[in-house]
Amino acid sequence: MRLLLGGGAWIALALVVAGIFISASFGASIDAARRDDLEASFDRLVASIDPATGELSNDQPLADPRYNTPLGGLYWQVDDADTGTSVRSRSLWDETLPLHSIARHGNEAALATITGPGGTPVVVLTRDVTIDDARVSRHFDIAVAEARSVDESPILSFNASLLIALAILGATLLAAAVLQVNFGLAPLDRLRRSVAAVRHGASPRLTPPRTEELEAVVQQVNELLDAQEASISFARERAADLAHGLKTPLAVLSATSARLRESGDRSNADLLELLTDQMNSRIDYQLRLARLRSPTRAQGVKASVNEVMLRSVAVLRKTPAGEALNWLVDLDENLEVDMDGHDLMELAGILLENASQWARERVRLRCARDGDGVEILIEDDGVGISDDAIARLGVRGTRLDETKSGEGIGLAIAYEIVRLNRGTIAVARSEMGGLRLTVRMPVG
């Protein structure tokens, strides 16, 4: 659009300048032709003067019939400066040309515009002429005039035709500019669609471009994507290797704890069992974090909220804690978020399982479109928690009820999933009595 607006502005400016120049040139050519005609008529009029008598040798010295038509648009006048007499063309009728109002420069011909017969403007060519013969020298003030209205119509007609021609030319040039911009930027449009396909997970890499200019850009972006994927895979493999390496010593410690308990050393057995459980929970936490997908704005995927939530509810309804609950589910149609499906499944499982553990009779799930995001609302009718406890939710290792099983890493994982996927999570007390979790994720 910037290219088209810039090109359109320059085309308009060029056409305006060209129109002004062409119109001025045409007007100048009309003026030059008028002056040539007036000079030719002036010379013929001078040639028809008899130097002996000062009279015209012909009653009609100029052949153009407009000189003999009253107010015909062409006029001539000869003033005898010696006798004060004046001879005029029939077209002047009973009027005279006010030659005294024209500024003179010696005996040079003067071209000026004055008010002529009928109050119309006329262009006058006038000059003082001295005619000598053997007996006498006579002085005359001779003028030939032409009404401007004679040429106004051709100029106006030419300007109207010129305006139409320039408008057609401008439209043609603008259409050509549109085609040129679209053709020139077509490779960038294909690159944009290719980037969008990578971002939404439809393609793992950018497709090769058809233009040589973009090959280096596409190649470098694909190399960056390959390096990112390799880095993520390497980190996950190292985390898995580390976990596998620690699991064996932990199993040995667990077996040692059992033997100490059998031998009666209950204190050391409890200590080893506590340390083993804590280390196992931390390893599980780090492994789950390593499996999370960390999307960027360059790469994105879509996940169906409806499918994931319904599947999670169906699984939890078969658990001992969930089968006795009344699940209230309200989902808008065709809800999708910009995150990996496995991450969404992990998030839904954690939040819904947490609600089912604390709920007494009901769990409410509401998912709806909210502007450019999807809002997921989960409430339960449990005993509720204090504001201080709400502030500590999501901190890894925080358990608000020691009577419940677990190591307090579930909500910490949920917070991490939401953060990695550019979402938000808010916790408050529910009107149902328990906890209300509001998750907002970007639309896919």
CATH of the domain at 348: 3.30.565.10
242 is a domain residue: yes
Give the C-alpha separation, 7 to 188, whole Å.
19
pLDDT on residue 307: 93
How do 326-331 and 362-370 pair as beta strands? parallel
Are both 9 and 130 inside the same structural domain? yes
Are both 14 and 86 inside the same structural domain? yes
Any idea what the CATH number is for the domain that residue 243 is in?
1.10.287
**Which of 262, 291, 320 is the C-terminal boundary of a domain?**
291
Task: Look at residues 358, 352, 356 and name the one whose alpha carbon lies nearest to residue 376.
Answer: 352
Number of structural domains, the chain? 3
Are both 259 and 336 inside the same structural domain? no
Are both 280 and 307 inside the same structural domain? no
Give the C-alpha separation, 42 to 128, whole Å.
12
178 is a domain residue: no
pLDDT on residue 149: 66
pLDDT on residue 284: 73
Are both 284 and 319 inside the same structural domain? no
Contact 410, 357 (CB under 8 A): no
Residue 407 burial (CB < 10 Å; 0-12/13-18/19+)?
middle
pLDDT beneath 50: ranges in the chain: 297-298, 396-407
Are both 145 and 52 inside the same structural domain? yes
pLDDT on residue 31: 80
Residues paired with 123 in a beta bridge: 113, 146
Rounded to whole angstroms, what are the CA distances from 427 to 10, 347, 409, 436?
58, 15, 16, 6
Q: Is residue 59 classed as helix, strand or coil in its secondary structure?
A: coil
234 is a domain residue: yes
Are both 352 and 321 inside the same structural domain? yes
pLDDT on residue 400: 45
**Which of 124, 154, 184 is the C-terminal boundary of a domain?**
154
Residue matched to tokens 């808010």? 426
Are both 274 and 356 inside the same structural domain? no
Are both 240 and 133 inside the same structural domain? no
385 is a domain residue: yes
pLDDT on residue 93: 84
Rounded to whole angstroms, what are the CA distances from 396 to 73, 275, 385, 416, 423?
104, 16, 18, 10, 19
Is residue 173 within a helix (H) or strand (E), and if so which, with residue range? helix 149-199
Domain carrying residue 284:
212-291
pLDDT on residue 356: 92
**Which of 154, 170, 186 is the C-terminal boundary of a domain?**
154
